Structure 1
Amino acid sequence: MSQEFLLEVSRLGKDFAPVAFARGPVVRAVQDVSFNIKRGEVVGLVGESGSGKTTIGRMVAQLIEPTSGSIRFEGSETTSLSRRELRGLHARVQYIFQDPFASLSPRMTIGEILTEGLDIQRIGSRSERAAKAAQALASVDLPPDAISRYPHEFSGGQRQRIGIARALTLAPELIVADEPVSALDVSIQAQIVNLLRDLQMRLGLTMLFIAHDLAVVEYVADTVIVLYLGRIMEMAPSRELYASPQHPYTRALLSAVPSPDPSRHANRQILKGDIPSPANPPSGCVFRTRCPVAVDACASAVPPLREGTKGHFKACIRDDLG
């Protein structure tokens, strides 16, 4: 068993073939993605819509199967588990979904939702499951009487708290938080982010935090991975990445983050056009069609993810952008 990392992802790939009887190219949603997560660490996975973030999160949680590559959890491969082994993994890796309403059954009470995972895993007696559900509700600052109510009786922010509580009931070793605040009002987003940060620090949670908002990721993540069209563009400790971004894509994303300091946007970079289709990605560097510093050589070969300063990686052939 690996002593250093809880999760090890190596050369992960995911292709989506056309649905039955449909014509079209294979969609390469994720290509050659590798990263590790230490126990107690929060890794932020950030990128525009269509970059493959959610696909990676679902593969890590084994909600979908990868096409290629390896996922090791506590040193054991998870991509070839039996159904019984997979059920055990799902108790240890929990998922917080983007849409808090769609992820909660309207026919179940909050108590039933919170104890469902415990029922499936056959953990504890009925009274012990109820106690765990009540404890999870309290940890996300919801009142005890919420346990007998239904999802439609709660606001969006409260429903997301319920989703977080559901993930906590099984005391997971890893939580995949898939854009947990993007469907919420801005005023509520800060409350949920603060709650997740507080829970992480108090419970020592290990988390893969997926978002498209770099400002949110900066607040919660120890390490940040910047993804574009299914490939990693840059990966570094959070403070270093925000202080000294090395990839043109990261710099463009950071320059778009709202700031009260006008000087921060003195060299603002505006990305032109939309992210290309993963069914027809550009040759060479997938970012080159929107990159403000691209050269002819960028079309020739896929740039490898190379380490510059210790722990800071970028996938770019330009070494003169430091």
Structure 2
Amino acid sequence: MIETLLAVRDLAKHYPSQGTTLRILENISFDVAKGEVVGLVGESGSGKTTIGRAVLRLIEPTSGTVTFDGTELTTLSAGEMRRQRPRMQYIFQDPFASLSPRMTIGEILTEGLKIQKIGTAKEREERARKALEHVDLPADAYNRYAHEFSGGQRQRVGIARALALAPEFIVADEPVSALDVSIQAQVVNLLRELQQRLGLTMLFISHDLAVVEFICDRVIVLYLGRIMEIASSEDLYASPQHPYTRALLSAIPMPDPDAKADRQILKGDVPSPANPPSGCVFRTRCPVALEACAGAVPALREVAPGHFKACIRDDLG
């Protein structure tokens, strides 16, 4: 039986801006099962990072609910939410900006434990050193500073910081996008190995669909703050049902330089969240849009077992 750890329902995030409203997220609903890795993909401005931060209440959603292991997070007080923090951690995108240059690695890794009043000083050090082992960093890293490490090693420190609190759920926000290509695969392999060994549940945010295919069990495709498609990784890459997903997948670089890619170039720019198109928000760039697409917002409907899309067309399968 699949046990849901995270349930997001009708999540929205709006910001006032110069007399108008930026609708960054609208009507976002999905579940994440225990032990599952779910990917969030889409172009810049699609709302991926906003979802990651909203589900952990690093920012407050405008409306909607986020339920973690049976507890509704959006109604908790600051104190109650603080007690939930050790169970939910965040891996940041930038390994350079996310680590204090004034703190040793040991101080960085034990900071969260101190805030949560977990263990004695000796026990906190033991947990931090164990976290360094998990990410394959040497023991002497504990007393060194972030500037002494490469970008890939710093991201390992960021992962260790999350692991030190023994979380059940991790939001990994573009964890390899700031790294050299030669290092990305090492960090992705590490995350996958840790997820399997420690039984972690993960929300993995990325614009790199090749990485998402490797690490994620299911994928959620976002466009302008709305969900376009949800499916298992296998189904999504083998049989994408939404025209936006097809365009994204067609842009993945092919390892064979002689292979002919059926590249689908989207016309125009992503519309402003201050003035999103009526009906389907993707219709202004969709190569197969109909007049009817300007009407009601298409519902996210199941088109195959476990495969959902928000599109009125039935002839794209």
Q: Structure 1: any 5+ residue segments left out of the alignment? A: none
Other-structure match for 1:250: 245
CA RMSD of aligned residues (A): 1.4
Pairing 1:21-170 to 2, within 5 Å after superposition: 23-170=18-165
Question: How far apart are 1:17 and its partner, in Å?
Answer: 1.3
Question: How far apart are 1:208 and its partner, in Å?
Answer: 0.2
Could you list the per-position Cα deviations for residues 12-47 of structure 1 after superposition, in whole angstroms to 9, with x for gaps in the alignment? Answer: 0000113xxxx2411000000100011100000001
**Partner SS, residue 152 of structure 2:** helix
**Structure 1 residue aligned with 2:312, among 292, 299, 317?**
317
Tell me if the contact between 1:118 and 1:124 (Cα under 8 Å) persists in the aligned partners: yes
* Identity fraction in percent: 73
Question: How far apart are 1:262 and its partner, in Å?
Answer: 6.6
Other-structure match for 1:7: 6
CA distance in 1, matches of 2:138, 2:25: 41
Tell me if the contact between 1:255 and 1:265 (Cα under 8 Å) persists in the aligned partners: no
Change (3 A) 1:304 1:198: same
Question: How far apart are 1:48 and its partner, in Å?
Answer: 0.6
TM-score w.r.t. length of structure 1: 0.96
Change (3 A) 1:66 1:263: farther
CA distance in 1, matches of 2:37, 2:158: 19
CA distance in 2, matches of 1:264, 1:59: 41
Letter in 2 for 1:145: D
Letter in 2 for 1:65: E
Tell me if the contact between 1:16 and 1:27 (Cα under 8 Å) persists in the aligned partners: yes
**Partner SS, residue 282 of structure 1:** coil
Letter in 2 for 1:286: V
Question: How far apart are 1:4 and its partner, in Å?
Answer: 2.0
Question: How far apart are 1:157 and its partner, in Å?
Answer: 0.8
Could you list the per-position Cα deviations for residues 38-91 of structure 1 after superposition, in whole angstroms to 9, with x for gaps in the alignment? Answer: 110000000110000000000111101110111000111000211211111211
CA distance in 1, matches of 2:257, 2:288: 24
Could you list the per-position Cα deviations for residues 198-238 of structure 1 after superposition, in whole angstroms to 9, with x for gaps in the alignment? Answer: 10111111000000111110000001000000000000011
Question: How far apart are 1:267 and its partner, in Å?
Answer: 2.7
Other-structure match for 1:304: 299
CA distance in 2, matches of 1:188, 1:271: 30
Other-structure match for 1:17: 16
Q: Following TM superposition, where does structure 1 have runs of at least 4 consecutive aligned residues deviating by more than 4 angstroms? A: 261-266
Q: Structure 2: any 5+ residue segments left out of the alignment? A: none
Counting matched residue pairs gives: 317
Letter in 2 for 1:69: G
CA distance in 2, matches of 1:169, 1:297: 52
CA distance in 1, matches of 2:78, 2:181: 40
Could you list the per-position Cα deviations for residues 260-314 of structure 1 after superposition, in whole angstroms to 9, with x for gaps in the alignment? Answer: 3479754321112221111111111111111110111111111000001110000
Tell me whether 264-273 or 192-201 shows the greater mean CA deviation: 264-273
CA distance in 2, matches of 1:233, 1:50: 14
CA distance in 2, matches of 1:290, 1:264: 26
Tell me if the contact between 2:254 and 2:261 (Cα under 8 Å) persists in the aligned partners: no
CA distance in 2, matches of 1:269, 1:78: 40
**Partner SS, residue 75 of structure 2:** coil
TM-score w.r.t. length of structure 2: 0.97
